[in-house]
Structure 1
């Protein structure tokens, strides 16, 4: 292809392609191409051309949208920054007043921390690292003592429970013995009051 036949646009290129296919069909078939011929390439070519034109139009639209995005991209990226700042001042004050109690609590906490800054920064707390192993041993000892105390408490509760059961049984036994002893005493008193039977014959 020489420079004189250079393509000036996609549309012109598609038209020239259609003409050349029609010319080739004429040379092969020996006559002018007929669109009704089943061997004709005109119909498929027209479909291809239509799709290519659609793609070309879509590409142009895409290029236009891309250009617009470049123009407005910075503005779009900054929308999120302005999103939280579009409320009127009165609404902002309402939000602040609604959080007044929480803000006061946080302010009090901050003041307390600031007032104890000297204690936190004191050498006594800064030199605590060498004491950490000893503190760890004390912690482990306290844990063991707590476990032993819990075990001893359970054993003591078992002993108290067994003691109450034993005392309950002894009480019942003593009540039974007391009843038996009272019955024996009554029986003895009754036998002493009966007159002796003497036979004078």
Structure 2
């Protein structure tokens, strides 16, 4: 070191929390001309370091262990088509889901039926209140004509091996021919199976 110059250094040491440690540093040197000539007036200084409580942190991570059951709200469409001959106007008076789902009368918001436009004048009911009603019942359907509506049904079930739930629905229509109650109508009832599958994302 040149005369009157300064040199600095630093070091790192591990110190426990909530501790007080006094560090004492002693400096000695030798002649730059004769390295065997050591100074006898070594200098010392000290500093006291107080450590504080280290921050306490933790991490909680949720994970999917499995889904045992699930629910789905499905919006079903219903189409009643008059496939009769040219002179047979049909009268539709009721729409009922009767496959054991518990929906029952799909013109009413009740139980698992959360919304409907079936048998409704004006705006739909329940969750389908922003849709237009299909018209009140009874409703006359001309030959080749249709009465279409929608209803929202909720079902819950245990998941299958593919993490899916499913439900089969069939809607029955109460109808008469143009001769009234003494003019029965042969109605073909179709079924639909709704299937919903579940996935999880982190």
Structure showing greater radius of gyration is 1
Bigger strand fraction: 2
Bigger helix fraction: 1
TM-score (norm 1): 0.20
TM-score (norm 2): 0.20
Between the two structures, name the one with larger relative contact order (CA 8 Å, sep ≥ 6): 2
